Amino acid sequence: MNNFFNRTTTKDFLQVCACLLMGAIFQSAYGQTDSDDDTLLLILPAIIAATKEPSPPPPPPIPVPGPAQNIPPTDQCAFTINGPTLSANRTLVNTPSRCDYFIQRPGNPTNSQVLQIDGATLTIRPGVVVRLARGLRIRVLQGGAIRAIGNQNNRIRFESAGTARGASDGIFFGSGSLSSRLEFVDFVNLGTDSPLSNTADAIIDGSKSAAGVSVKHVSFNRSGNHAADFTDLNITGFEKNGFYNNNGYPMEIGADQLHKLDKPSRYQLASQPNALPRISVHGVFEPANSQQTWKNLSVPYRVFVSIEIEDGGHITIEPGTRFAMDEGAGIDINPGGSLRAVGTASNPIRFFGLQQTPGFWDNIRFTLNASDARNRLENVVVSHGGGNSIFEGAINLQRNSSAVVTSSAIRNSASSGVCIDPGALVNATQIRTQNSFSGNADGNVIVSNDC
């Protein structure tokens, strides 16, 4: 008997007990035992549960990719792909060589090389290294797509034949291109200006009429300009990406896509910093019936041109979020839109001039009839605004507009701190007493038809 227990696991033993109990219940049902049926029925589920395999622990989270190595491209690639056009589906596979594929367009000057993917899908398997000729850009055209999907242990790499930052262009997703995927990919030394497109100044870039691209677990390294340009290109997925040692911004992006950015992505690394450590924001926010949140990222947003929150656009800003406002830029909340910027006393939301000069940027303006009940500025710091000579004030409230402005600091405006039209639906006295003011050239809170 001792040998039996030595060779038998607890699970095996419990399974035997469960079988014996089931047999006992069967005998009881036919009057062949005096055992207590109720006791058996109570014990049996516990024994069966004890024999089940425990659930496996969840897999560890996949970390944000770190910087990719800048490896001198001195070795030969296993295969060469010649441009100018790829018009049939093709799959690139990993080979024993360190570099698997070299893409070029023979006979063309270095600064005008291009590979066009026209009506075809380029699939790239895990572990593949693709080297682009100097100055080469991949253009994904009508009906084309790229599916570069690696994994954590076998990342895909796009590198330049040159060693300098931005020695090759990158990838441009053109009009009518299909949805593409870039996952577990490293880009190294791409992203230079191209004479082929006025907007080709990033490693990945694209047209407003492209279907878009999913970017997950991707590292952008050593761009000659910005790492990624999503001003027009639609983001269909964005998760845990890294931006390192690029000569411009980690990205440019339209205001309507800010909510797609995630907090775990690494937008700046002290040891390999981007030259411009901000997210450059452009454009109008106007998706109908859309409620979105702008997250507190590790770098500020640079508002390059004024953001218009139109009818149906409702924005919430997380505590601690920072906005570096460019010259003449502002945020306009129009009728049917709303802005809810609520920080905390220890983690306020900040709107400040890219240059610390009074009036460097315009203002936060609640326009005529912008009266949504969600409009709220609380624990917000607004500094160096008031540069709009027509609509004055670092915060401007026009006729029939409304917003709660409380527990906030308005500083160093070139005009007033808060300018209120007499027809605005706010209490000027409350705004005066519930906020702090300093250094505002024309006064702290004024009520005037000139607002």
Q: Can you read off the two tokens belonging to residue 197?
A: 């497109």
CB-CB contact of 90 with 115 (8 Å): no
Of the candidates 288, 279, 281, the one whose C-alpha atom is nearest the C-alpha of residue 307 is: 281
Of the candidates 150, 153, 207, 160, the one whose C-alpha atom is nearest the C-alpha of residue 183 is: 150
How does pLDDT run across 250-279, given as a tens digit for each residue?
999 999 999 999 999 999 999 999 999 999
Beta-strand runs (E) in 255-326: 279-282, 290-294, 301-303, 307-309, 313-317, 322-325
Of the candidates 73, 94, 179, 81, the one whose C-alpha atom is nearest the C-alpha of residue 138 is: 81
d(CA 179, CA 243) in angstroms, rounded, equals 23
pTM for the whole structure: 0.86
Secondary element (H or E) of residue 116: strand 114-117
How does pLDDT run across 276-335, given as a tens digit for each residue?
999 999 877 665 568 899 999 999 999 998 999 988 899 999 999 999 999 999 999 999
CB-CB contact of 219 with 186 (8 Å): yes
Q: Can you read off the two tokens belonging to residue 352?
A: 């400040």
Per-residue burial over 202-216, b if 16 or more Cβ lie within 10 Å, else e, is: bbbbbbeebbbbbbb
- The dihedral sign for the CA sequence 278, 279, 283, 288: negative
pLDDT tens digits for the chain (451 residues)?
444 444 444 444 445 444 444 454 445 444 544 445 555 555 555 555 555 667 788 888 999 999 999 999 999 999 999 988 999 999 999 999 999 999 998 766 555 578 999 999 999 999 999 999 998 999 999 999 999 999 999 999 999 999 999 999 999 999 999 999 999 999 999 998 554 444 457 999 999 999 999 999 999 999 999 999 999 999 999 999 999 999 999 999 999 999 999 999 999 999 999 999 999 998 776 655 688 999 999 999 999 989 999 888 999 999 999 999 999 999 999 999 999 999 999 999 999 999 999 999 999 999 999 999 999 999 999 999 999 889 999 999 999 999 999 999 999 999 999 999 999 999 999 999 999 999 999 999 999 999 9
